[in-house]
Structure 1
C-alpha cells in the first residue's frame, strides 16, 4: 500500500503537554482544597477531552454534573493561560515532519483537545510545517473514538481512508483509526502502555518518531 497522508493525534503524539495540563488542573484542585495528582495519574486522565479529565481528577463523591461543569470552566481558564508554558514537540517529531514533507505526504491533526486550543498549540509550536487540516472537537465533530473527524479529514484531502496512516498514543486513537479503516500506528513515547494500544487495534507500534519512516 502506498500511503498519501498521515493523521496525527496531538497530545502524547506530536507534543508533550502533560505538565501544562496537570499544573492547570492541580491549581483548580488546590483552590477547592482537594487532593492534587501526580503526572503519572494525568497520563490516564487525559485522552477523552478536558471535561472527562476534570471528572476523573475530582473525588468520586464530587462528580456531580453541575460541579464538573464549574470545574471544567475553571480548568479551561487556567489552561488557556498556560497551555504553551512547558508544552513542546517530542524529540524526533521535527525531523519526522521534515521528512514526511519532503516525501510529499499530507499532514493533519485530529485531537480530543478542544478545537480552539488544538489550533493554538499547532499554530504556536508546529508552525514550520504545513498541516492540511487541524481539528479538535466542535459542534459538528464529536470527540474520538467517534470516527467523524477522521472521515471529515479523508474527504477534505480527497484521499481514501485506506491510504491514510493514523498515529496516536492511546486506545481511543487506535479505535478511531480502526473504525475509520485507516492504518493504526501506536506511539509508545506517549501517555499510554503498549497493551492498551495493542488491545484497541494498533497494527504497528513504534518507540521513536523516526521509526515511523520504516512503515512507508
Structure 2
C-alpha cells in the first residue's frame, strides 16, 4: 500500500464547526455594539486561525492590534465554553476513520485553530482515534508552513510521499504541496472547489469514503482527479 498515513484538517474537513465559531464571535460583537456577520460570511473568515478571524470580523475603524487582542481574548473565552455545542462530524467521517484504522493507516490532525481547542474538540468528538493532534502553537508555524506537518510525518515514522493531507481550503492544499504530501481537497467544507484546485489539490472528493479509493484503488469509490 503506497499511502500509510493521513493528516486531516479539522474545521470544514472532519467537523462542521462553523455555527459555534460564528456564534461565539457574534456574541462578542453584540456585547460591543458592533455589527454581526452571517454564517456564510464566516465561511471565508475561517482557515487562518481564530485571531485572523477576529480581525476579519471587525470593522476597519476598530481593526487595530490592541483591540484585536482584546476581542480575541473575549472570543476565545466564549468559544472555549461552547466549542462543541453545535459542532458535529460530517456524515461518513466515522465510517472512513473506522476503515482507515482497520487497515492500519496512521491518522493525525493538523489545524490552524489554537492547539488547546484543537485537542479539546478532537478529544470530545474523536476519542483515542488520532496519533497526533496539533493545533496552532506558534504563529509563524501555522499552515501553509509545512513544519508541523513534517514533524508529524517524522513522529509517525513515514516518508512524506506515504502521507495524504486532507483539507477543505487552499491553505490546506498549499501546506500539502509545501510538505511534498498528496493534496486531497474535500468539497463539503467551507471553500469552493476552484480554490482547492488552484492551490494544488491532486484530487477533490465529494464524500469521505471516496478517500478509500485513493488509498486502495481496487475499492469501489467515486472521485475526480484534477
TM-score by length of structure 2 reads 0.93
> After the TM superposition, which of the residue ranges 175-184 and 135-144 deviates more from structure 2?
135-144
- In 1, Cα distance between the equivalents of 2:150 and 2:213? 25
Post-superposition, which runs of at least 4 consecutive aligned residues in structure 1 deviate over 3 A? none
**2:64 equivalent in structure 1:** 64
> After the TM superposition, which of the residue ranges 187-196 and 135-144 deviates more from structure 2?
135-144
- In 2, Cα distance between the equivalents of 1:141 and 1:208? 32
Would you say 1:116 and 2:119 are equivalent positions?
no
**2:196 equivalent in structure 1:** 197
**1:93 equivalent in structure 2:** 93
**1:148 equivalent in structure 2:** 147
**1:45 equivalent in structure 2:** 45
SS at match of 1:45: coil
**2:213 equivalent in structure 1:** 214
Q: Is the 8 A contact 1:10 1:111 kept in 2?
A: yes
Provide the alpha-carbon RMSD of the alignment: 1.1
Count residues with an aligned counterpart.
215
**1:188 equivalent in structure 2:** 187
Flag structure 1 segments of 5+ consecutive residues without an equivalent.
none
**1:160 equivalent in structure 2:** 159
TM-score by length of structure 1 reads 0.97
> After the TM superposition, which of the residue ranges 90-99 and 131-140 deviates more from structure 2?
131-140
Q: Is the 8 A contact 1:141 1:148 kept in 2?
A: no
1:149-204 Cα offsets, whole Å, 9 max, x none, are 11110110110011100000000000000000000000110000001100000000
**2:218 equivalent in structure 1:** none
**1:125 equivalent in structure 2:** 125
Q: Is the 8 A contact 1:154 1:161 kept in 2?
A: yes
- In 2, Cα distance between the equivalents of 1:173 and 1:180? 11
- In 2, Cα distance between the equivalents of 1:19 and 1:140? 24
* Superposition deviation, residue 141 in structure 1: 7.2
- In 2, Cα distance between the equivalents of 1:8 and 1:141? 20
SS at match of 2:78: helix
- In 1, Cα distance between the equivalents of 2:91 and 2:181? 25
> After the TM superposition, which of the residue ranges 81-90 and 138-147 deviates more from structure 2?
138-147
* Superposition deviation, residue 138 in structure 1: 1.1
Would you say 1:177 and 2:176 are equivalent positions?
yes
* Superposition deviation, residue 61 in structure 1: 2.0
